Each structure stands twice: as C-alpha cells, then as structure tokens.
Amino acid sequence: MEARDSNGTLLNEGDNVTLIKDLKLRGSSAVIKRGTLVKGIRLTDDAGEVEGRIERQTIVLRTEFLKKA
C-alpha cells in the first residue's frame, strides 16, 4: 500500500510534511501545533502511519493529519 497525505498526495521516504491539526501526544501533556514542519519522514508497514522527529523525539503520525510540504 502507498502512504498518502490528507489531500491524497503520495508520500515518499524522506519527504517533509506539515501538520494540519493540533495533536496531543499520548502519555504527556504536550501538544504539537498545527503548521509544525516534520522533516525527513520514514514510512512504516502501515500505510496510514509515518514516523517523524519532532523536538528530538521520534513519534508515529497518522497520515490523515499531514500535508506534504
């Protein structure tokens, strides 16, 4: 399967994406703000999820909340 962003654009390994919605991190009180740029994503086995680094932390992001930058 292919990973696609919220607009249906194909995502590739190493792409930069932007969040389209404020997201709460599970297990903490931190919130990642809309418009945050995530550089150099990595694709996962699940087409609906990608890995990215935000604030020196690797997190899994749902592709439905991302837009290709």
Assess if residue 10 is contained within a domain. Answer: no
Assess if residue 6 is contained within a domain. Answer: no
In this structure, are residues 16 and 39 in contact, taking their beta carbons and an 8 Å threshold? yes
Assess if residue 37 is contained within a domain. Answer: yes
Per-residue pLDDT band for 69 (boundaries 50, 70, 90) equals: very high
Assess if residue 61 is contained within a domain. Answer: yes
Q: Which domain holds residue 37?
A: 17-68
Count the domains in the chain.
Answer: 1
Cβ partners under 8 Å of residue 41, min gap 6: 11, 13, 14, 15, 16, 17, 50, 51, 52, 61
Assess if residue 11 is contained within a domain. Answer: no
Assess if residue 21 is contained within a domain. Answer: yes
pLDDT tens-digit profile of 1-41?
A: 799 999 999 999 999 999 999 999 888 898 999 999 999 99
Assess if residue 8 is contained within a domain. Answer: no
Provide the CATH number for the domain around residue 62. 2.30.30.40
Please provide the DSSP assignment of 31-67 as one string.
Answer: EEPTT-EE-S-EE-SSTTEEEEEETTEEEEEEGGGEE
